[in-house]
Structure 1
Amino acid sequence: MLSPSSISRQVICVLLLFSLAHTRNVVVFQPSYLTATGPAASALLLGNTSDTSLNLRTVSPSNTTGSIGPPSCVPGVTQWVLTREQVGKNAVRIQLRLDKNLRLCGENETDTDCCRKPLCVLETLQVSACVGGTPQASLLIQVKIHARLVPANTGSDNKTAIPNQVHQPLGSCPCDLTFRACDVRCCCDKDCSVEDLKLFASHCLPGPFGGQVSPAPDYQCSVQSSENSPDWFPFLCVSSSPENNPYLGLFYHGDTIPSKPGPTFQRPVLSAPVPVNVYIQGSPILTLNDQYFTIPQKVLGQCVNSAPVAFLKNFKVKCVTLLRNCPTGSPLQTLPMDLRMLVKSGQGGDVIVDVTDEVATDLSQFISSTDAVASSDERPVCKNVTLALDYKFYWKGNGITNITLTRTVGTIPLNGSVVLTTRYSAVFLNGEFMGEPNSGNPGYQVGRPVIAGIVDTLDNDTGLQRTSINLWKPVSDGLCSTNEKKPVLFGENSTSGCLLAISRQNLTQCNLLRETVTSLQAALTLATYVARSGNPDPLTVKDWVNISFVTLNSSTASEDTINSCYGIPSHQHIHVWSLITDMVEGIPQRDIHALQVSYSLSTWALDCGGGDVSPCVDPVETQLFPITSSVTFTDIPINTGPPKTRFQINFTEYDCNRNDVCWSELAFPITKYYTGEPYSQSLAKGLIMVFLFITASILGTPWRQIRQVWNSATL
C-alpha cells in the first residue's frame, strides 16, 4: 500500500514529465516499463501526440550483450491487440489486451486457442511511438501469465462421495469439494496434477480441513529442529508415527447427500416450510396449511408482529406503541374468527385455538399517560383494541393436545397521542404444569437464573414450587412504584436499585416507613430454599439448601426525629457461596453451597440545603431516596491443603510450574504425563533402557579398570 507522500511524489513526476514533453514538443511513455501478469496492460503517452503512430512487436535480449535493441517503427506480428484512447489534449491512454484463451489445453486437444503449459505466456513486448517513421519513445512490457484452472465439468451436480467418518476427519481429503477437478489450495486433492500443485504448494489449506491433522506434540522427535529445544531434547524425545495421534476428527457418522437435478447459481425460491411429523423442542409450530404459527414477539430488542412460535419455548413480552389514530389492523385490531385457526398437533391431527375474551376495566397497566385514562365524552375513543394475547399450549410427548387463548380488549380514549403497552405471552403446559427450564446439567451454568423454591402447601406431596430470586430492574423514571424485577443470574455480580419518594409527612411515621421499605425489599426474595444444582428435583430434599436471612443492626444508636428516621433497610445484599463438586467430560460442575440475604440499615433525613427548604416546610413536598439490591458470588476452594512452608515459597528449583528446568520430569516417557502410547508399554521400554544403561556402565571402561586393580591387589 502506497503512502500519501509516495503518491504525491509520483503525481509530481507525472506533471513534470507532462510539462517537459509539452514544452519540448516530444512524447514520453509513463511508465516506460511494465510487468504484466494478466491479459491486459495500460500506460500513458504524454506530449504532442497529434502525428504519432504506435507500433507493437515482440523483442528478446541479445545473446551477446543481453540488452534489448533500439526501438523500431516496423510493426511485428503478436498475439496482442493494441488500442489507443485520447484522454486529454496532450495525453493518450495505450491499452493492450491478449487475444488468446487462457484455459489449459486437454490431453488430446488440437485447438490452438489454449495454453499448452501452465506458464501460458512468457515474452517481452515493445511499443514504439513513431513520427514520420522515426521512433520518438518506447515502452517495454514484461509479460508472465499463467493458465487459468477451470474444471472440465463446470456446473455438474456430481458431489464427492464421503466415506464413513468414524475416527477420521471427514474422509481422506476434506477440502476436495469438486468431483474430478482440482480445488485450489487443496494439496491432498488427487485430481491436482504436479503442475497444479506447484502453483499453490506453499499456500496449502492448514489444519484438518486441508487434510492435515493436529500439530505434533512438543515431545515428538520431529520437532527437534525448533529454536527453543533444550540440549537434552534429542536424548529424551519420543519417536512416534504421525498417525498415532489422539485427534479423532471433527465429524462422525456422516452420510452422502444425493444431488438434485436443477440449474446452478440460481436464487433459491422461498417456499412454505417443510411439514414435520412430530415436534421437537425449538421446532416451529405449523398451521394446517403448512405456514408458521406466529405471535408478536421481540427480535433483537424490537417487536415483530409475526414471529414464529417455537415448541416448548415460553416467552412473555411487552410492546410499546404510540397511538395517534385508532388502529385498524393486526395485532391491535383482531377478530375471534381470525384467531381460531387450525394448528398441526404434531401427531398426525390438528387442534383449534379456543379463544376467550376479557374486557379490561383498569387501563393503568396498558396506558402510561394518566390524562389519556380519564374518560370524556368529547374525546374520541378506540373500541375493542387488543391489549393482551395470552396463549396456553398443552402438550404431551411430541405433540400438542390443546391451545387456549385469552384475548384482553379495552376501549382506549385518545388525547392527542397515547402510549399503549400491549402484552403477549405463550406458556407450554404438560397437563396442568408448566415446564420449567433448568439452569445446568447438573452444575449451574454462568448466566443462567438461580433456581429458588417455595414450599407448596396446596399439594399433598412435600414438594417445592420453583421461583426465582430477584433484584431491582430500573425502567422508565426509576421509581420503585413503576420498577420491574430481574432474576439473579449465576456467577454474575450485580447491583441495582430504585427511588422512593418520601415527604416530611412520611418521616413523622417512621415505623410505617420501615415496614413499607421492608416489604418492598422482602418482595424480591420470597423463596425459602435455593437449589444446589441446575436441575433440582422438587421432591428431593437434598437438592435444596435453606436460605438464611440476616438483619444487621444500625452501627450507631440514634432516635427518630421530626425530619429523619433511622434503621431503614435501604440495601439488600445477597451472598452466594459456590464450589466445584464434580467434573463431567473435563468441565467443572458448580453447585451452590449456601445463600444468605442480609440488610444494611441507614438513616433517612430530608436535605434542605442549597436554598431549597420546601421539603422541610411543605409536608407534601417529596424527595427521592434510593433503595438498592446487590448480589455477590464467592467460589469456595475445593481443597486448600496445608499451608506452604517457607522453603516451598522461596525456592522454586524443583517447582515445574515456575522453573524452566524440571528435574522431576527427567523420566518423562515413563511417567503418567506421557500419553503417546499405553503406560504399560512406556514403562516396559523405560525399564529396558535403565537395564541397558546399567549393563553398559558395568561392562564399560570404569568397571574394567576397577576389576584390574582388584585382581592385581589380590595377587
Structure 2
Amino acid sequence: MANVVHVVFSRQVVCVLLFISLAHTQNIVVFQPSYLTATGPTVTALLLGNTSDISLNLRTVSPSNKTGSIGSPSCVPQVTQWLLTREQVGKTAVQVQLRLDRSLRLCGENETDTDCCPKPLCVLETLQVSACVGGTPQASLLIQAKIHALLASANAGSANKTAIPNQVYQTLGSCPCDLTFRACDARCCCDKDCSIEDLKLFVSHCLPGPFGGQVSPAPDYHCSVQSSENSPDWFPFLCVSSPPENNPYLGLFYQGNTITSKPGPSFQGPVLPAPVPLNAYFQGSPIFTLNDQFFTIPQKVFGRCVNSAPVAFLKNFKVKCVTLLRSCPTGSPLQTLPTDLRIKVKNGQGGDAVVNVIDEVATDLSQFILSTDAVASSDERLVCENVTLALDYKFYWKGNAITSITLTHTVGTITFNSSVALTTRYSAVFLNGEFTGEPNSGNPGYQVGRPVIAGIVDTLDNNTGAIQRTSINLWKPVSDGFCSTAEKKPVLFGENSTSGCLLHVSQQNLTQCNLLREAVTSLQAALVTAIYVAKSGNPDPLTMTDWVNITFVTLNSSTAMEDTISSCYGIPSHQHIHVWSFITDVVDGIPQRDIRALEVSYSLSPWALDCGGGDVSACVDPTETQLFPITSSVTFTDIPVNPGPPKTRFQINFTEYDCNRNDVCWPELAFPFTKYYTGEPYSQSLAKGLILVFFFITASILGNPWRQIRQAWNCADL
C-alpha cells in the first residue's frame, strides 16, 4: 500500500512539474486542478503560467437543461456569497483561494436572522473562476460546492475565545475534573454546569482529591496510606500528615501558558520577504540600491565564489575567483557593460550615489590566466574580447552615509583553444576621505587572532602628518609552494607562526652571490614594508603617540663572505619577527594588551648545491636548478606586569621542598596551623587542631596497643 501511495504522489508531482514547464514555455496559464469539489468553507487552487497581467472573475453557473454543459468561461464579474483572494507564491504560480462569506450555523426555530442555514444542506451551487487577460478568458476553474450546516448542541458556547483569569489572583485549576465546556461531567462534584438534579445522581461517588477532581494517588510517606500490618518501623514517627487539598500536583493548574501550533513541513519553499532598507548605514549593515534591492558584488561565501553577494557597510574584502572557460562568457560578471555597472545606490541620508566607472584595459594577462591547453592552430583558437578581469570598488563615506563610489573596471582580451582557467579579482575598500576604513583589531587592546596593525608615512598629504595603515606579513605558500607564486598572510596577534616558500637556484646564480643576496633580501623585505606598529587595536592615524617604531636589526656587513664557485654565504634565508606585549588595563575583567616593541631580524645561512646521491645534473648543467627554502616566523612574548619577589636561596637550592614544582608539598603538612590558611580565624583553627591532638592521644592511651603495653609491663613486674 505504501508503494502505491508513493507512486500516485510521484505522478502528481510529475504532472504539476509538466504543467509548470508547459505554461512557462508556451506563455499560457492553467488552473491546477481544473475541477474541485468543496465540502468546507475554504477552497484553494493554483494558477500556473504567466500571471503578470491576469485578472480573476468569479460567477455562479448552472448546467444547461438541453445539453447539460456549463458553457464557455466569461470575464463578466458577478456578486456571489464567496470572497476571492489571490497570493503570489512564485514567479509563475498564484494561489487562488475562495472563502464562504456567511455563517454555517443551523437556524433555530422561529429565528429571523438571515445569516444562518435554514436547511442542513446549506450550500449547493457550482462556481466558475475565470482567468482573463483584458476581456478574453484564458483558463477556468469549476468548483462544485456542497456544504452542510454545522450542527451544535443547544447549550453550545459561542466561537469567542475563553477569557482566562489572571492566575496571580485566581486559581486556574479550581475544578480540574471540569473537562467539557458548558456541559456537566459525570462524578465531577465541583462542576458548576451540573444542576442539582445531576448532582443527586453521583453525589456519593464524587471523584477523590482536592476540589473533588484531582485524582492523584497519595504518596507512600502519607500517614493515611500505610496500615498497621504492613507499615515499616519508621512509619509511626516519620509519616506525613496533611489534608488532600495540600497536594503538590496543584501547581500544575497554575500554569496558564498557551502554546501556539506551528505549521507542519511543506513541499513548497517559503517566500522570502523583501529586504527592508535602513534610514542610515552602520557598520555591517547591507547597502541598498535605489529600488530597495541589495547592492551585490561577487564574493566568497563559505570558501566558494558567489556572483551576487550583498556588500556590507565598512567591511573591506579582496577575493579571487577561478573560472574554467570553455567558451566566451556572455553573462555577468565576466561580461558586463559600463551602463550595467553605473548603479544608483542609496547614500543613507535620503539621497543616492551613482557608481562612477573607470575602464582600464589589461595588457599583461599573466596574473589572470593560470593555465591553458596545448597550442593549436590559429583557426581553432577562441578570442574573447572585453572580458571582465577585475572589479575594484572604492566607497567614500562620512558619518553614516556614502558620499561617492568609484569603480575600476579592468577588462582584457583572452585567447585560448578549448579551455582556460581565468582568475578574476573583486575588492571593496571604504575610505573616509583618504583614510581606508580598515576594521580595528581591538578596543582598545589587541584581541588574539586579529591582525597586527602597522603603518607607513602617508606621502599623499605631507601636511597632515597622518599614517597610512598596512600589515606585517608572513609567507603563505599556495599550490606548488614556490616563492614565485606564493602569497602573503598578515601576522595575527598572539599567534606564533612559521611559514616559507621554495626558491629556484642554479649554479649560475651561485656564481653571482651579491645578486643572489640582494634578490633574497628584497623578497624578505617585501613582507615588512611598514616602519611603525600600532600600540593598541584602534590607533589614530593622526596621533603619533599611538604608534611605535619598528626596529630592524641590520645585517653584519663586516663579516667576511667566503664565497666559492658553487656556494654563497650570508644568505638572509630566514626572517624573524619578535613582538613584545604587556597588559595595560583590565576592562570588564578582560585584560587589554598593547604592543611595546617589534623587532625584525634575519638569520644568515650558506647555500650550496647538493650533488650527492647520484644526482649531479645541477653541478654539471649551469641552468639546472635546485630548491632552497626561504622562511619567515613570528614570536609573541608577554612582559609580566609584576614579576614578584626574587626567589630565596632555599627555593633555588632545595627544589624538592618547593610546593609550586612538586606534587607532594611537605611544608603544607601543617597547613591549617599556618598563616596561609584563611578558611577561618587562626585562633579557631589552632583550638580545633589541639582538640584533635588530644583525641588522638586519648585514643592511643585507651586503645588496644596501650592495653597490650600495660599487660607486658605488669608481666615484667611479676
Q: TM-score range by the shorter chain?
A: 0.5 to 0.7
3-state secondary structure, aligned to 1:369: strand
3-state secondary structure, aligned to 1:387: strand
Residues 654 and 664, structure 1, Cα contact 8 Å, conserved in 2: no
CA distance in 1, matches of 2:600, 2:186: 82
The letter for the 1-side match of 2:574 is H
Report the CA distance shift for 1:115/1:566 in structure 2 as closer, same or farther (over 3 A). Answer: farther
Task: Report deviation, 1:527.
Answer: 1.4
Per the alignment, residue 590 of structure 1 pairs with: 593
Residues 370 and 422, structure 2, Cα contact 8 Å, conserved in 1: yes
Residues 474 and 483, structure 1, Cα contact 8 Å, conserved in 2: yes
Of 459, 469, 472 in structure 2, the residue corresponding to residue 466 of structure 1 is: 469
Of 410, 413, 427 in structure 2, the residue corresponding to residue 411 of structure 1 is: 413
Of 349, 360, 385 in structure 2, the residue corresponding to residue 383 of structure 1 is: 385
Per the alignment, residue 37 of structure 2 pairs with: none
Report the CA distance shift for 1:641/1:379 in structure 2 as closer, same or farther (over 3 A). Answer: same
Per the alignment, residue 75 of structure 1 pairs with: none
Question: Per-residue CA shift, 1:521-557, capped at 9, x if unaligned?
Answer: 1111111221111122233333222222224559996
Structure-to-structure mapping, 1:39-54, within 5 angstroms? none
Task: Report deviation, 1:604.
Answer: 0.7
CA distance in 2, matches of 1:472, 1:308: 31
Per the alignment, residue 8 of structure 2 pairs with: none
- The answer to whether residue 480 in structure 2 is matched with residue 477 in structure 1 is yes
3-state secondary structure, aligned to 1:480: coil
Per the alignment, residue 178 of structure 2 pairs with: 106
The letter for the 1-side match of 2:283 is Q
3-state secondary structure, aligned to 1:354: strand
Structure-to-structure mapping, 1:286-685, within 5 angstroms? 286-369=288-371, 376=378, 378-458=380-460, 459-551=462-554, 559-645=562-648, 650=657, 661=672, 664=675
The letter for the 2-side match of 1:643 is P
The letter for the 1-side match of 2:382 is P
Question: Per-residue CA shift, 1:292-343, capped at 9, x if unaligned?
Answer: 1111000111111111100111111000111112212211111222222222
The letter for the 1-side match of 2:535 is R
Report the CA distance shift for 1:392/1:658 in structure 2 as closer, same or farther (over 3 A). Answer: farther
Residues 372 and 416, structure 2, Cα contact 8 Å, conserved in 1: no
Report the CA distance shift for 1:654/1:322 in structure 2 as closer, same or farther (over 3 A). Answer: closer
The letter for the 1-side match of 2:505 is I
Question: Per-residue CA shift, 1:257-290, capped at 9, x if unaligned?
Answer: xx9x999668863111112111111011111221
Residues 478 and 487, structure 2, Cα contact 8 Å, conserved in 1: yes
Structure-to-structure mapping, 1:128-147, within 5 angstroms? none
3-state secondary structure, aligned to 1:505: helix
Deviates more, 1:108-117 or 1:336-345: 108-117
CA distance in 2, matches of 1:320, 1:560: 44
Report the CA distance shift for 1:571/1:114 in structure 2 as closer, same or farther (over 3 A). Answer: farther
Cα RMSD for the two superposed structures: 3.9
Report the CA distance shift for 1:414/1:662 in structure 2 as closer, same or farther (over 3 A). Answer: farther
Where in structure 2 are there 5+ consecutive unaligned residues? Answer: 1-175, 190-213, 215-246, 685-718
The letter for the 1-side match of 2:583 is I
Task: Report deviation, 1:370.
Answer: 6.4
Task: Report deviation, 1:441.
Answer: 1.3
Deviates more, 1:553-562 or 1:564-573: 553-562
Residues 320 and 422, structure 1, Cα contact 8 Å, conserved in 2: yes
Task: Report deviation, 1:194.
Answer: 4.4
3-state secondary structure, aligned to 1:514: helix
CA distance in 2, matches of 1:317, 1:456: 26
Residues 274 and 290, structure 1, Cα contact 8 Å, conserved in 2: yes
Residues 498 and 633, structure 2, Cα contact 8 Å, conserved in 1: yes
Structure-to-structure mapping, 1:247-258, within 5 angstroms? none
TM-score, scaled relative to structure 1: 0.56
Per the alignment, residue 28 of structure 1 pairs with: none
The letter for the 2-side match of 1:195 is Y
Per the alignment, residue 206 of structure 2 pairs with: none
Report the CA distance shift for 1:484/1:263 in structure 2 as closer, same or farther (over 3 A). Answer: closer
Question: Per-residue CA shift, 1:562-581, capped at 9, x if unaligned?
Answer: 11111111110111111112
- The answer to whether residue 197 in structure 2 is matched with residue 195 in structure 1 is no
CA distance in 2, matches of 1:658, 1:412: 82
Report the CA distance shift for 1:376/1:562 in structure 2 as closer, same or farther (over 3 A). Answer: farther
Per the alignment, residue 77 of structure 2 pairs with: none
Task: Report deviation, 1:369.
Answer: 2.4
TM-score, scaled relative to structure 2: 0.55
Report the CA distance shift for 1:392/1:643 in structure 2 as closer, same or farther (over 3 A). Answer: same
3-state secondary structure, aligned to 2:369: coil
Report the CA distance shift for 1:283/1:617 in structure 2 as closer, same or farther (over 3 A). Answer: same
The letter for the 1-side match of 2:501 is C
Structure-to-structure mapping, 1:122-271, within 5 angstroms? 194-195=248-249, 269-271=271-273
The letter for the 2-side match of 1:644 is K
CA distance in 2, matches of 1:333, 1:373: 25
Task: Report deviation, 1:461.
Answer: 3.1
Report the CA distance shift for 1:107/1:607 in structure 2 as closer, same or farther (over 3 A). Answer: same
CA distance in 1, matches of 2:440, 2:329: 40
Residues 655 and 662, structure 1, Cα contact 8 Å, conserved in 2: no
Task: Report deviation, 1:559.
Answer: 1.5
Question: Per-residue CA shift, 1:7-35, capped at 9, x if unaligned?
Answer: xxxxxxxxxxxxxxxxxxxxxxxxxxxxx
Report the CA distance shift for 1:537/1:263 in structure 2 as closer, same or farther (over 3 A). Answer: closer
Residues 372 and 413, structure 1, Cα contact 8 Å, conserved in 2: no
Residues 375 and 413, structure 1, Cα contact 8 Å, conserved in 2: no
Task: Report deviation, 1:641.
Answer: 2.6
Report the CA distance shift for 1:263/1:448 in structure 2 as closer, same or farther (over 3 A). Answer: closer
Residues 369 and 421, structure 2, Cα contact 8 Å, conserved in 1: yes
Report the CA distance shift for 1:519/1:114 in structure 2 as closer, same or farther (over 3 A). Answer: farther
Deviates more, 1:614-623 or 1:449-458: 449-458
The letter for the 2-side match of 1:381 is V
CA distance in 1, matches of 2:543, 2:281: 31
Structure-to-structure mapping, 1:15-26, within 5 angstroms? none
Task: Report deviation, 1:436.
Answer: 2.3
Residues 391 and 425, structure 1, Cα contact 8 Å, conserved in 2: yes
Residues 472 and 483, structure 1, Cα contact 8 Å, conserved in 2: yes
3-state secondary structure, aligned to 1:520: helix
Task: Report deviation, 1:666.
Answer: 6.6
Question: Per-residue CA shift, 1:142-170, capped at 9, x if unaligned?
Answer: xxxxxxx9xxxxxxxxxxxxxxxxxxxxx
CA distance in 2, matches of 1:656, 1:111: 81
Question: Per-residue CA shift, 1:651-701, capped at 9, x if unaligned?
Answer: 769999999748547776999xxxxxxxxxxxxxx9xx9xxxxxxxxxxxx
The letter for the 1-side match of 2:390 is A
Residues 455 and 533, structure 2, Cα contact 8 Å, conserved in 1: yes
Task: Report deviation, 1:622.
Answer: 0.9
Task: Report deviation, 1:457.
Answer: 4.1
Task: Report deviation, 1:495.
Answer: 0.6
Question: Per-residue CA shift, 1:433-482, capped at 9, x if unaligned?
Answer: 22122211111111111111222344123332221111111012211111
CA distance in 1, matches of 2:434, 2:557: 47
Report the CA distance shift for 1:656/1:277 in structure 2 as closer, same or farther (over 3 A). Answer: farther
CA distance in 2, matches of 1:115, 1:506: 106
CA distance in 2, matches of 1:264, 1:565: 76
